A and B are shown apart, each in its own frame.
Chain A
């Protein structure tokens, strides 16, 4: 589903590559943790998969498409197959929960009756029944992240990219978010989650890809956070 082949990314303002000759292959339906310290290249990995950045060297395939051959006007079609969740939620403060989720469908031109049907379904899936008309600032952090996940998932993407989704949440709330991501993964959606929360990684026992200074230092199928084998 996602394949990086000898990918190097050097940002113009930096001499050290953010990713250095990285090759990773992620299958359909996998749940992968991307771990490593800040600056190890986790976010760069996710941004490259979204085609928000282009690699300096190497090739990337996402959802069957070779990104270097994807023309500018086809990028939106790629992103409709990818859901994205961030540490800072990125909700629109002046829209309600339901409107925030509907926005993702409105702006890709989905008909109104589809939006009216799908939005309550996905809000119920993430456990936000009855909170449709709240504004984001009336919700707890965990609930806000659920709205963001609902928005990322409402168009049923094939891949869900999550960049430190529990970074702003307390451990108990994080567990709820992880259960939700696990449920989404069980529907067949590939999930790639960047994190440095060792408890979560250890408890989930999923594939772990560790980055350090732009290199892949570990790729383990049922891993834990540290080198505790």
Chain B
């Protein structure tokens, strides 16, 4: 095999078909960038979900203790508190229980709202309920806590942040799904475009391929220039897509990525998405051009 001869044929083919080549490269680049963004959202959302859920605790807020000024009809007795704690401790899903007294709650409150001194001044320790912070082995099991102690005497409310987070994650989920769907459509049109440009290339080179067949060139020699041209477009398109994705990452991390959305702006997320993007970007055009040849360059 003569590598330099095959490569010179590839170069000639790319130059002859320059508009088609540019179109193919750009479609590859755009569809791959979209694929990359979809992957980043998916990977980022997964990480975010994992991170946030692992921090989340289910809070079991208790009623004011009997005998204190705020105590109502359903006031808390020390026996109630012990019984609630025991019940929680016996749940197999529970990892850790932290008791937060009114003093602890007030300290946390002051810390959290230190920017709003008026609010802190107006709030007294007595207004804040004592609670158990329950850490679960699997954050998805939050419902167990409510069914175990939700109606126990002395319990005010079982609050869990996961339900509001769930809406956030279902939003991410839908965005990812939509982006992937668009990506699939774009990838299909990329395939069709490459298929078409290969057909044009095969037609414009039919004299050459006719002679090649006649003098006994193997399928490899006849088809390799076309497949390599498709692959070259794929490589160039992937390269462009990688640059575009780095630009997107840079933009996200410098503007959008707040304290909460960090996973979307991290190199590791991009690093996970890029190999998939590059592999698809190189395989897809190569496969598309190979399939074209099976139909249009049969010996």
- Tell whether A76 pairs with B208 under 8 Å between CB atoms, given A106-B5, A109-B2, A111-B2: no
Q: Are A108 and B215 in contact (CB under 8 A)?
A: yes
Asked if B104 is at the interface of the complex by the 8 Å CB criterion, the answer is: no
A103 contact from B1, B211, B213, B299, Cβ within 8 A: B211
- Interface contacts beyond A76-B299, A84-B214, A107-B212: sample of 9 additional A-B pairs, CB < 8 Å, sorted by A: A72-B299, A77-B216, A79-B214, A79-B215, A90-B207, A92-B211, A103-B211, A104-B211, A107-B5
Pull 15 A–B residue pairs with CB atoms less than 8 Å apart, ordered by A. Answer: A50-B214, A72-B299, A77-B216, A79-B214, A79-B215, A92-B207, A103-B211, A107-B222, A108-B215, A108-B216, A108-B217, A108-B218, A108-B221, A111-B2, A155-B215
Is the CB–CB distance between B208 and A92 below 8 Å?
yes
Number of interface residues of B (CB under 8 A): 18
Q: How far is the CB of B210 from chain A (nearest CB, A)?
A: 7
B165 vs chain A, min Cβ distance (A): 60
Residues of A within 8 A of B (CB): 50, 72-73, 75-82, 84, 90, 92, 103-104, 106-112, 151-152, 155
Partner of A78, one of B2, B216, B219, B222: B216
Chain B contacts of A111 at CB under 8 A?
2
Inter-chain contacts of A76 with B (CB < 8 A): 216-219, 299
Cβ A80 vs Cβ B211 within 8 A:
no
Chain B contacts to A: CB under 8 angstroms: 1-2, 5, 207-208, 210-219, 221-222, 299
Q: Do A80 and B215 contact each other (CB < 8 Å), given the known contacts A72-B299, A106-B5?
A: yes
Whether A104 touches B221, Cβ cut-off 8 Å, given contacts A92-B207, A109-B1, A112-B2, is: no
A79 to B211, CA, bound (A): 11
Closest A residue, CB atoms, query B205: A92
Given that A72-B299, A75-B299, A112-B2 are known contacts, is A107 also in contact with B207, CB under 8 Å in the complex?
A: no
Chain A contacts for B215, CB-based, 8 A: 79-80, 84, 104, 107-108, 151-152, 155
CA of A73 to CA of B212 in the docked complex: distance in angstroms? Answer: 14
Contact B216 A90 (CB under 8 A): no
